[in-house]
Amino acid sequence: MTRPELSLIIPIFNEEAVIPELRRRLQEVMAGLERTVRSWEVVFVDDGSKDKSLAMLKEMSASESRFKVLAFSRNFGHQLAITAGLDRAEGDAVVIIDADLQDPPEVIEEMIAKWREGFDVVYGVRRSRAGETIFKKLTAAAFYRILRIMLGGMAIPVDAGDFRLVGRSVVLTMRSLKEKHRFVRGMVTWVGFKQHALRYDREARFAGETKYPFTKMLRFAMDAITSFSIVPLRFATWLGVFAGVVAGVAALWVTYAKLFRNDTVQGWTTIMIAVALGSSAQLIMIGVLGEYIGRIYEEIKRRPLYVTAEQINFEKDQDSERRGLAPDR
Q: Cβ(34)–Cβ(28) under 8 Å? A: no
* Nearest CA-CA partner of 294 in 178, 181, 171, 177: 181
Q: What SS3 state is found at 210? A: coil
Whole-angstrom distance, CA of residue 90 vs CA of residue 171: 9
Q: Which pLDDT does position 10 carry in this prediction? A: 93
Whole-angstrom distance, CA of residue 244 vs CA of residue 274: 9
The H or E element that residue 45 is part of is: strand 40-46
Whole-angstrom distance, CA of residue 104 vs CA of residue 200: 9
Whole-angstrom distance, CA of residue 220 vs CA of residue 183: 8
Q: What SS3 state is found at 197? A: strand
What's the one-letter identity of residue 89?
A
- CB proximity list for 290: less than 8 A, separation 6 or greater: none
Q: Which pLDDT does position 151 carry in this prediction? A: 62
Q: Cβ(278)–Cβ(39) under 8 Å? A: no
Q: Which pLDDT does position 95 carry in this prediction? A: 92
Contacts 24+ apart (CB under 8 A), 177-181: 178/305, 179/227, 179/299, 180/295, 180/298, 180/299, 180/303, 180/305, 181/223, 181/226, 181/227, 181/295, 181/298
- CB proximity list for 70: less than 8 A, separation 6 or greater: 43, 44, 45, 46, 84, 85, 88, 308, 310, 311, 312, 314, 327
Q: Which pLDDT does position 240 carry in this prediction? A: 64
The one-digit pLDDT tens for each residue of the chain (329 residues) are: 678 889 999 999 888 888 888 888 888 888 888 888 888 899 999 988 888 889 889 988 888 888 999 999 888 888 889 999 999 988 889 999 888 888 888 888 888 989 888 899 888 888 776 656 676 667 666 666 666 666 655 666 666 778 889 889 989 998 888 777 788 877 888 888 888 888 887 776 555 565 555 566 666 666 666 665 656 666 666 666 676 666 667 666 666 666 666 655 655 656 666 676 666 667 667 767 766 776 676 667 677 788 888 888 887 654 443 333 444 55
Cβ count near 10 (within 10 Å): 24
Q: Cβ(295)–Cβ(181) under 8 Å? A: yes
Q: Cβ(228)–Cβ(154) under 8 Å? A: yes
Backbone angles phi, psi at 83, to 5 degrees: -60, -45
Letter string b/e over residues 195-224, b meaning 16 or more CB atoms within 10 A of that residue's CB: bbbbebebeebbebeebeeeeeeeebbebb
Whole-angstrom distance, CA of residue 228 vs CA of residue 150: 9
| Whole-structure pTM value | 0.66
* Nearest CA-CA partner of 99 in 230, 223, 203: 203
